[in-house]
Homo-oligomer: A and B are copies of this chain.
Amino acid sequence: MDGATQQTAAGRRSRRRPSMADVAAMAGVSSQTVSRVANNRSNVEEETRQRVLSAMRVLGYRPNAAARALVTDQFRTLGLISFGLGNFGNARTVDSITRAAQRAGYTVNMLAIESQTEQAVHEAFGQLTMQAVDGIVLIEAQILDTPALRLPSGVPVVLADGDVSHRHPMVDTDQALGARLVTRHLLDLGHETVWHVAGPEDSYAARRRAESWHATLKEAGAPIPRMLFGDWSAASGYAAGRVLAEQPGVTAVFAANDQMALGVMRAFIQAGRRIPEDVSIAGFDDLDESAYFSPPLTTVRQDFDVLAERIVSLMLDQIRGGTAPSATAPIAPHLIIRESTAAPPD
């Protein structure tokens, strides 16, 4: 009986991951010295260090992240709330943020939300603050300043491409400029006006692109066609494209992202309209793939890396300094002209 108990205890003990104390015992030093070696402080004699290091190796020691974080009060992890990686623009953004964070020695803890409801954002936020993160990045969240959704304080937050908030630092792409560039480009080509397939109504980026398209047309005195809505997917672009392809007057379409532009192109081609001879199509994002569409897509290039760089540095400022950094100017995108746009047929 006693033997069995012993064995169980031994089993349990050996299953337990080794701690500093175990390493210390084996190396014949204090656990504090082990700590010094683990954090490679300079004030440890070389011979001692080697002894500790080899004890670590033998025991397979790994520092316990929880204990360390409890003392240092940091995890070197950023929380990230986004709408999932299905949307390529999102995926690119998240990719860039991950890399930027990594360069700063941080990893990224992801949480995807399905919908843009206050409820969903709030829940995600709650879950993430209970997670081991030092700060939270919110992508494309536009409903933060509603009274119902008060983001809990005490956690550094950075907003990217979302609604204006006076309570948190933000980073933004100049969506308006991008939309203006494409719209003008199409108008300058000689098109009487430009149709628009917008992103979902609850997306802030989509709204700003649409507003700017509208303003640009108005400035130019061009007629303003009714806007169509998609959900960023190629399928929704295709659906919108079919509607547009039935209207004979359509000669230029600006889709709010490249995926939808792809769908729009497909619909027109299927309807027997040539691009760009019969109709010009432009997108937004400039995915790596867009240059290989048939025809290659005229679009607006976003600099995801710069965006990510800024997000991370704003985050680190808050984590380290505690100061609220000033807002930075929005990042300017630029127009990439390819073969999907041309002068209208006469």
Using Cβ atoms and an 8 Å threshold, which residues of chain B touch A107? 79, 109-111, 127-128, 131
With a cutoff of 8 Å between Cβ atoms, the chain B residues found around residue A294 in the complex are 265-266, 269, 293-294
Q: Which 9 A-B pairs have the closest CB atoms?
A: A85-B95, A66-B69, A132-B132, A66-B70, A91-B91, A234-B292, A266-B292, A65-B132, A85-B91
| A153-B66 in contact given A91-B85, A107-B109 (Cβ < 8 Å) | no
Q: A142 an interface residue at 8 Å Cβ cutoff?
A: no
Q: What are 23 sample pairs from A and B whose C-beta atoms fall under 8 A apart?
A: A62-B152, A66-B69, A66-B70, A66-B75, A66-B132, A67-B70, A69-B69, A69-B132, A70-B70, A76-B131, A84-B95, A85-B94, A85-B98, A98-B111, A107-B111, A108-B110, A263-B292, A265-B292, A266-B293, A266-B294, A266-B296, A289-B289, A293-B293
Chain B, residue nearest A112 (CB): B98
The complex places the Cα of A296 from the Cα of B133 at a distance, in Å, of 43
Whether a CB of chain B sits under 8 angstroms from the CB of A148 is no
Within 8 A of B (CB), among A229-250: 233-235, 237-238
- A75's partner among B132, B269, B296 (CB-CB below 8 A) is B132
A154 at the interface (CB under 8 A from B): yes
0/1 per residue, A77-101, Cβ < 8 Å to B? Answer: 1010000111010011011001100
Q: Count the A residues whose beta carbon is within 8 Å of the partner chain — how many? A: 61
Task: Give the distance to chain B from A321, nearest Cβ to Cβ, in Å.
Answer: 13
A110 lies within 8 A of B110 (CB):
yes
Distance, CA A112 to CA B107, complexed state (A): 9
As for how many copies of this chain the complex holds, the number is: 2
Is there contact, CB below 8 Å, between B65 and A131? yes
Q: Is A36 an interface residue (CB 8 A)?
A: no
CB distance from A81 to the nearest CB of B (A): 10
* CB proximity of A70 to chain B, nearest CB, Å: 4
A63 contacts partner chain B, Cβ-Cβ < 8 Å: yes
Q: Is A312 in the interface zone, CB < 8 Å from B?
A: no
Complex CA distance for A233 and B288, rounded to whole angstroms: 8
A62 touching B130 in the complex, CB below 8 Å, given contacts A109-B107, A262-B292: yes
With a CB–CB cut-off of 8 A, which chain B residues contact A17? 154
A289–B129 CB distance below 8 A:
no
User: Nearest residue in B to A154 (C-beta to C-beta)?
Assistant: B17
- Of the residues B133, B235, B269, contact of A288 by C-beta under 8 Å: B235
A291 at the interface (CB under 8 A from B): yes
A37-76 interface (Cβ within 8 A of B): 60, 62-67, 69-70, 73, 75-76
For the complex, is A183 an interface residue (Cβ under 8 Å from B)? no
